[in-house]
Each structure stands twice: as structure tokens, then as C-alpha cells.
Amino acid sequence: MTLQEKIGILGAAARYDASCASSGSRRSGDVGRASVSGICHSWADDGRCISLLKILLSNCCIYDCAYCINRRSNDVPRASFTAEELADLTIQFYRRNYIEGLFLSSAVFGSPDLTMEQMIRVVMKLRRDHRFGGYIHMKAIPGANPDLIRRAGLLVDRLSVNIELPSEQSLKQLAPDKSKDDILKPMTLIKSGIVENRAERKQSKKAPHFVPAGQSTQLIVGASPESDRHILNLSENLYQRYQLKRVYYSAFVPVNEDGRLPTLAAPPLVREHRLYQADWLIRKYGFEAEEVLPEQTPFLDEQFDPKTAWALRNLQAFPVEVNRAEFEQLLRVPGIGHVSAQRILASRRISMLRVEDLPKLGVVMKRARFFVTCSGAYAGAAIPRGADLRRLMLAEGPAPASSQQLTLAGIL
Ligand code: SF4
């Protein structure tokens, strides 16, 4: 098999892993279809967008996860790189300026330890033989020996252990070769490694880095019956217990005929998008999962972003007076984000704010006007007493329902 053929098979096979930001890109057109060539984009800790070669070391898997194209029971073309081939390929792509780093994943061939050892060989070749200092994100294989996870952690920038399914029951049903323990153990190990490394580096700047860009995970949405509420609570727990940098949500894409899987008309992309928005509220806006989705609301609203949906359920918290509200209160107003809240605080130190000042400060009035007052007066048209605000807002212009139109900015 030629190297080009291997790149075709293993680049395409890596497409279903959403742990890089542009992994889900399925746009048509001849220009910019990075995922086809195995290139994806991610964000470094300093906010830079970096392009990564996203590829599997092998797609020959000993496991048989119901949802996966690479499962052992599928009759698909199989290929594996040698460590030398993949390291050389990465360096060639890097020298040609195609990529700035590598996202390395793999099916489990032979055993978790053997797979992990081979992945480490690739990274060792890059770091030691090629003196490659670029970004490397590597999958940690559940069930691999802790020493291998530690060795990998000293070589790469980010490690991720994929949870895949949101409950132990679903894991047993759809990925019977995996276990909750095999997934959570490496997560615990990576977390303690990061914490210890921070302490070591405070003592000595010469101490080697251990997973400096932190750890992340991926969850498949829609392959199993768990609610958004269940998923969000799980994510919150993962952020708190394992100090994850990111949980990536991946809409279930049916690629196999399997009676254990649901029949979906299309991948639940709007649901995936709403989960990202809700996750953002938890990580950046001080919301708790229980507030975003209380017990009586198991699923996110498809028509409104999670912040607006929360505001509509909690009208007693509004209107917020922009000339007096605390920063945290402002952050909870639909249409006001971090930047506009900071600008409001800075501007009102100089003079009282007027309604016409708000758009200039970045406030999205289309949403905010229902929830704020300026010196006691509503910022927009008066809302008829007893009006159904949800219906009114929908009539004014529904939130985009098509995934192509959705952006993270929608949560402001
Ligand atoms: S372990 Fe499961 S999800 Fe991973 S490649 Fe193998 S079959 Fe696919």
C-alpha cells in the first residue's frame, strides 16, 4: 500500500473524532475543505488558531464499538503507519507550512499498551529525532499502563481520553470492550500529573512540562438515550473533578447498521451546538448545570440559545438596570457578553448610560432590550403587560434553527 493510500484511509478515519474544533466541518466546495486532507483546526491556550494534521496511526481495531466505522466487524479498507512514516509525514507537512502541529489518534491494535507504545514512538521521533517543537495533541488509550500515559504526558501538549458515551450503561451496551474505570483512571492520572507538574515548575523552571495544554474529552450526542441535562451535569462534574480544558460534543453520525443504535433522520447538529453553548455558559459565565437545565427541563431549547432560555424561565431576575447591576448580573442578560459587560462598567463610571449608548458598547439589543432598563425605562419598545415574551421574541425573529446558521456568538 502506498503512503498516499494510507493517508487517504487514516485521514478519513480520523474525521469522526471531534476533539479538534473544526472536526465536524462538512462543508461543500473545493476550497478550504481541510477535513478531507486530514487537517483540522484547534485553539492554543493563547487563543491562536492552529492547524493540525489529524490522523490515525492505525484503523485496525480489536474492539467493536457499535457506532464506529473502524470497529473490527466492519469490512472497510485497513491501514497502519509505521512510527517512522507518520513522523516523517508530519515533518514534511510542517516544512511545507500545511500544518503547525499533530493530532494523533489510533484504533486499538493488539492491545492498549502496544497501541500507546507505538503512538509514543511517533512522538519521540518527532521530538527527539526531528527536534519538532510544535503542538501535539494525543489520544490516551483507555486501559494502557499508567507508565505509558506518564511518558506520553511528558512529550505532548495535550492528552485526551474519550468518554464517548454519557453513562456506564450505554458504554456497556454500545462499547462493550471499554469500561468506565479504564477511561476514568487515565483521566485521574493526567490530572494529578498536571497538578504535580505545576508545583514542580514553581520550584524549578527547568522541570519538564507535563501536558501543558491540559486534557480534554469527547462525548457522542444522540447515540444513546441520555438527556442534555444528564450530559451537562456529567460535563460539569468532569470539569470540576478532572480539571478538563474542554469537553467536545459530537453529534452522532450513523455509519453502521446496528440494532443497538437509534434511527435518526439526520445527525443532531442543533443539539450538539446548543450543548456547546450551554457548556460555554458553565465554563465562562458562572452558570451551574442545574440552572441551565433544572430537573423539569431535561433538554435544551432548540429555538433559543441556553442563556435566553434560562432568562425566559427566570423572568423574576429581570429587568436588570444597566446603570447599577453587578458584573455577574449583566453577564446573565441575553445579548450582553463579557466584553460588553466590561464596557458597561467602564462607561457608567464616567456618566449614566442611555439606551442609545448600549449598541455602541456591543450589546445585542435585539435580545437584550427585553431584559434591561436604562435609568428605570425599558431599553426598547415597552412590553405589553402580561405578554408572552417567548412568543413575542419568536415573532421578532426566531433563533436560527439550521446548524449552518448557528454560531457561538448566539449565546451572548
Ligand atoms: S476502540 Fe471503538 S471507537 Fe475506538 S477505533 Fe476501536 S471500535 Fe472505534
Q: Is the dihedral of CA 292, 293, 299, 302 positive or negative?
A: negative
Considering only CA atoms, which residue is closest to atom 5 of ligand 1? 107
Residues with CB under 6 A from ligand 1: 61, 63, 65, 68, 70-71, 107-108, 175
CA of 79 to the centre of ligand 1 (A): 14
Per-residue pLDDT, 15 = 73
Dump pLDDT digits (tens) for 329-371.
999 999 999 999 999 999 999 999 998 999 999 999 988 988 9
How much of the chain, in percent, has pLDDT values that exceed 90?
A: 69
Instruction: State in Å: Cα 220 to ligand 1 middle.
Output: 13
Hey, which of 36-40, 202-206, 292-296 has the most confident mean pLDDT?
292-296
Compute the average pLDDT of residues 173-185.
Answer: 94
Better pLDDT: 174 or 48:
174
Q: Are the beta carbons of 339 and 362 closer than 8 angstroms?
A: yes
Report, as an integer, the average pLDDT of 257-270. Answer: 92
At residue 294, the pLDDT reads: 96
pLDDT > 80? residue 383: no
> What is the 71 CA–ligand 1 centroid distance (Å)?
6
> Mind listing the pLDDT tens digit for each residue in 13-22?
777 664 544 4
CATH topology of domain 3-213: TIM Barrel (3.20.20)
Cα(4) to centroid of ligand 1, in Å?
Answer: 23
- pLDDT, the chain, mean: 87
* Cα gap 399→403, rounded to integer Å: 11
Q: Return the pLDDT at 139.
A: 95
pLDDT of residue 34: 44
Report the DSSP beta bridge partners of residue 138: 104, 159
Q: How far is the CA of 29 from the centre of ligand 1 (A)?
A: 30
pLDDT at residue number 22: 43
Confidence at 52, pLDDT banded by 50, 70, 90: confident
Residue 53's DSSP bridge partners are 39, 102
Q: What is the mean pLDDT of residues 132-155?
A: 95
| Residue 88 Cα distances to 92, 99, 318, angstroms | 6, 13, 59
Output the pLDDT for position 404.
Answer: 37
**Tens digit of pLDDT for each residue in 226-242?**
999 999 999 999 999 99
The structural domains of the chain, with segments of one domain joined by +, span: 3-213, 314-411
**Closest protein CA for atom 4 of ligand 1:** 107
Burial of 115: CB neighbours in 10 Å, binned 0-12, 13-18, 19+: buried
**CA 62 to ligand 1: nearest atom:** 6
pLDDT score for 105 = 93
Q: Give the residue whose CA is nearest to atom 7 of ligand 1.
A: 71
Confidence category of residue 4, pLDDT binned at 50, 70, 90: confident
Which of 114-118, 267-271, 345-349, 366-370 is the least confident region?
366-370
- Ligand 1 center to residue 171 CA distance, Å? 12
Ligand 1 pocket test target in 70, 72, 114, 250 with most atoms within 8 Å of CB: 70
